[in-house]
A and B are shown apart, each in its own frame.
Chain A
Amino acid sequence: MLNLVRRLRDQGIAVVLISHRMPDVFAVADRIIVLRRGTKVADKAISATSPEEVTGPHHRRDHHRLTSDGWTTRRRRLERAIEARSHGLVARAGSAGVLGARRRPARRRRSLSFATDAFATPQNLFNVTRNFAFVAIVAIGMTAVIISGGIDLSVGSILCLSAMVTGGRAA
C-alpha cells in the first residue's frame, strides 16, 4: 500500500492518507494534519515534527492546540483538506472523521477503558437505536420469510438497489 502511495506521489498525484498508524504516516507523508474530536489540532510539515509530538496532543485530554483556527463546520474542514491536496501529500491522523462525518465519532481508546458509563448517555442511545434500526427493519421481513420455512439472501442487494434507484431518480 505504501509503495502504491509513493508511486502515485512520484506521478504527481496528490494523496490524502487517513491513518492512526504513525510509522505509515511518517514513511510516506509530506505534510501532516492532526484532528482530535473533530477539530484540527496540528498542521505541520513532516520534516518539522516527530511521531511523539503528533501523538502527544492527539491523545492528551487537555491538549494544547498547536495551531488553532476558527473553523468549526465539517464542510469547511473538508474543503480545507481538499485544498491541502495541492500541497502534496497530506496525512491526517485522528479519530473523528471528515469523510465519516455522519458516523458515530470513534472515541478515544485510552480514556474509554474507564468510561463505560458513556453507554447510557442519550446521544449514544440515540445512535445505537438508529444504527440497529436498518438491520431490524430488514429483519422484520426476514422473520416472515424464515417462519414460512424459506430464507432470503438477497436483502442486502435489494437494499443497495433501492438506494441506487433513489439516487438515479433524482439524476
Chain B
Amino acid sequence: MPPELAASLAVGLVNGVLIAYVRIPPFVATLGMLSIARSLAMVASQNKMVYQFGPDHDLFLWLGGGSTLGIPNPVVVLGASCLVAGFALRWTRWGARIMAVGGNEKAAILTGLPVKRIKVGIYMLSGFMAGLAGVLEASWLGGVTTNLGQSMELSVIAAAVIGGANLLGGSGTILGAVVGAALIEIIRNSLTLLGISTFWQGAFVGTFIVVAVAFDSIRRGRCRNAGGAQRLARTSRRRIALESNQPCGIDVGSGLRDAMPRWGSGPSSRSPRLPSLRRRRRRRRLPFSALAS
C-alpha cells in the first residue's frame, strides 16, 4: 500500500481506537487529531511547499489534473468510490451494521454486534477517503502547502448534512453527500459567474445549509407525532423482531425521533405512524439475520 494511504489509515485507526475503546467522544478525539495530523504534516515537510513528486512526476500530475474520456480523473475516482460505498452501505452486512450502530447503539451492543470494531472501521474508512482526496488534490494543484484542507471538515460536514445525513446518527446516503457537495460548489460557481462578491458566498452557502436541514426536519416532523404508548409498542415490536431473528421494519433512522419530545396525542395525529412503519418494512431489503450473524 502506498505510504500516504497507509498514513491516513493509521490516523483513522488511532481515531477509531480512541473513540471506541478509550471512549473519548468523537468530537474531542478528532478535534485533537485535527491539530496532531496537521502538525505532523508540518514536521514532515518542515513547513515548506512541496512541488516535486519524484521520478513519476508527470504521471502523478496526470492523476489529479488529467482526464479520462473527457471526465476529470478526480471525478472518475469520486464516481467509483460513490458506487462502491453506496452499494456497500445499502446492500451489505457492513452497511446494515453501521445503520444499526447509528440508529440505536445500545440495541446494537445488546444484539451482539461488534460495535467497537465497526466504529474503528468507519473512522479508518473516513481517514482513507480523506487520504485519497489528499493525493488527488496534491496532484491537481501540483504543489502542497501545509494549509491544504484547512477548514475543509466544515464543508464536508455541510455536504453530508445537505445530503440528508442526520448528525444524531442512523440515517444518510452516500449519493446525498455527493449531491450536497455538488450543490455547494454549483452555488459558489454561479455566484462567481453572476459577479457577486466572494464575500457574500459564505452567507448564501450558510443560508442554503440551514434551509436544507429545516426542510428535512419539517418533513420528519410530520411523522413524529406518535404518542408514548405507541412508541413503546413500536419498540417492543422491534425487540420481538430482533429476538425472533426475523426480517422486520427495524427503525434504523430513529435517532432524531427518539431524542425529540413528542407532542400531539389525538387519534388523528397518531394514525400516520402505522402506515409509515409498514412502508418501511416493505422497503427493507436485507433480512435482519444477516446483521447478527
Contact = CB atoms under 8 A, between A and B. Distances in A.
Are A and B part of the same complex? yes
Contacts of B192: 106-107
B130 A102 contact: no
Contact of A144 (B44, B122, B130, B159): B122
Interface residues of B, number: 114
Contacts of B185: 128, 131-132, 135
B23 to A, nearest CB: 12
A143 B174 contact: yes
Interface string B155-196: 111011101011111111110111011101110011011110
Contacts of A150: 19, 26, 119, 122-123, 169
Contact of A135 (B38, B60, B172, B184): B184
Contacts of A154: 11, 15, 30-31, 33-34, 36-37, 127, 130, 153
Is chain B's interface secondary structure helix, strand, loop, or mixed overall?
helix
Interface string A115-151: 1101100001011111111111111111111111111
Contacts of B85: 140, 143-144
Contacts of B72: 126, 129-130, 133
A137 B30 contact: no
Interface string A160-171: 111111111111
Nearest to A99: B143
Q: How large is the interface on A (under 10, 10 to 19, 20 to 34, 35 or more residues)?
A: 35 or more
A159 interface: yes
Contacts of A164: 41, 44-45, 50, 144, 146
A113 interface: yes
Contact of B37 (A141, A147, A149, A157): A157
Contact of A163 (B77, B138, B163): B138
Contact of B4 (A129, A145, A152, A163): A163
B177 A134 contact: no
A110 B195 CA distance: 7
A158 interface: yes
A138 B144 contact: no
A109 interface: yes
B101 A149 contact: yes
B172 A137 contact: no
Contacts of B30: 151-154
B134 A136 contact: no
Interface in B34-81: 34-38, 40-41, 44-45, 50-55, 57, 60, 65, 67, 70-72, 74-75, 77-78, 81
A12 interface: no
A23 interface: no
Contact of A160 (B33, B37, B195): B37
Given A115-B193, A135-B159, A156-B150, A161 B41 contact: yes
Contact of B176 (A119, A143, A167, A171): A143
B128 interface: yes
B135 A163 contact: yes
Given A130-B72, A147-B165, A163-B135, 8 more contacts: A102-B141, A138-B156, A147-B170, A150-B123, A159-B133, A159-B152, A167-B50, A167-B144
Interface of B: 2-5, 7-8, 11-12, 15, 19, 26-27, 30-31, 33-38, 40-41, 44-45, 50-55, 57, 60, 65, 67, 70-72, 74-75, 77-78, 81-82, 85, 89, 98-99, 101-102, 105, 118-119, 122-123, 125-142, 144, 146-153, 155-157, 159-161, 163, 165-174, 176-178, 180-182, 184-186, 189-190, 192-195, 255
Cβ-closest 8 pairs across A and B? A149-B169, A170-B54, A167-B50, A141-B129, A162-B134, A157-B37, A132-B185, A141-B126
